[in-house]
Amino acid sequence: MSRNNYEVEQIDDTYVLYKLKDARTNSSVTVCPERGAIATSCMLHGEELFYFDRPTFLDPQANIRGGNPILFPICGQLVDGKYEWEGRSYTMRNHGVARNRPWEVVSTKTDGEASLTVRLRSNESTLVEFPFAFELLFTYALVDGELQIRQTYSNLSDRSMPFYAGFHPYFRTENKNVVYATDATKYLDYNDNVVKPIEGIITLDGLKESVALLDATDRSIAFPRPGIGTIKLTYSEAFNYVVLWQVNGSPFICVEPWMALNSALNTRDGLPELEAGGKLDLTFAIGFMK
């Protein structure tokens, strides 16, 4: 493939945005490093896949609703927004510290792919919520009409670091009741905390809380955009769960790969830890087929 098919464009839109372009497949991905390195748009093969609420993006104090927020060092919520570690109590916002802090741009590339590499390092602000030194190095790469997010999580501390990362992509759709292509056979319904069998359609419409697919062995999930095509997510083995969520009256569903379940930093159930000085490399990809 000619490298001329790939381009990285810098755009000023209240914040500095980086637009990755793949001309051959009519695909583009837009990332805002200043706002948690969120991908605000994902157009694959000519179809915009993401829901995006611009007012929350423009408000620097708001949590952005839409796009693909990065979740680290936790996914979901903590009990009363707090947790204890090594005898001390800490307060952390939902989904952790990465999505609401600016990331540093490391590099861009247009040879063989359109990509942007960004970095987040721990600082005085993150240490108040999460008492570990860390570095996150993410590369957003648009390759042949697929978005790949390559991640390196580094523990710069002198002790083991607990964390469970994930992603929170908002996919635009009016249909909240979907048959998912997954080998999971059961899910945890956080609306009543009951584990239920998956029997065809998973009905999200009307639910306030999310549901979590529990026992998938295949690290992929696909679902339809009616009349348009099929979205497929693939992800590393470390992402043990997929969480599904919606908001009544809003045209999206969230299909979220997580490493551990809600409140794992409280319960310690299935809580991953990265050894002192350790690194973990993971991948997450979004594809679309018409």
The per-residue pLDDT for range 212-230, each reduced to its tens digit, is 999 999 999 999 988 899 9
Q: Tell me the CATH number at 169.
A: 2.70.98.10
Parent domain of 35: 3-289
What is the number of structural domains in the chain? 1
- The predicted structure's pLDDT at residue 4: 76
pLDDT per residue as tens digits for the range 189-215: 999 999 999 999 999 999 999 999 999
Give DSSP secondary structure letters for 137-153. EEEEEEETTEEEEEEEE
pLDDT of residue 1 exceeding 80? no
pLDDT per residue as tens digits for the range 120-145: 999 999 999 999 999 999 999 999 99
Q: At a CB cut-off of 8 Å and minimum separation 6, what does 68 contact? A: 38, 39, 42, 50, 167, 168, 169, 170
Average pLDDT over the chain reads 96
CA distances from residue 156 to 42, 123, 137, 173, 265 in whole angstroms, order as listed: 32, 12, 13, 40, 19
- The predicted structure's pLDDT at residue 3: 52
Preceding omega of 73 cis (within 30 degrees of 0): yes
For the whole model, what pTM was predicted? 0.96
| Joined tokens for residue 277 | 């000085």
- The predicted structure's pLDDT at residue 77: 96
pLDDT per residue as tens digits for the range 13-65: 999 999 999 999 999 999 999 999 999 999 999 999 999 999 999 998 889 99
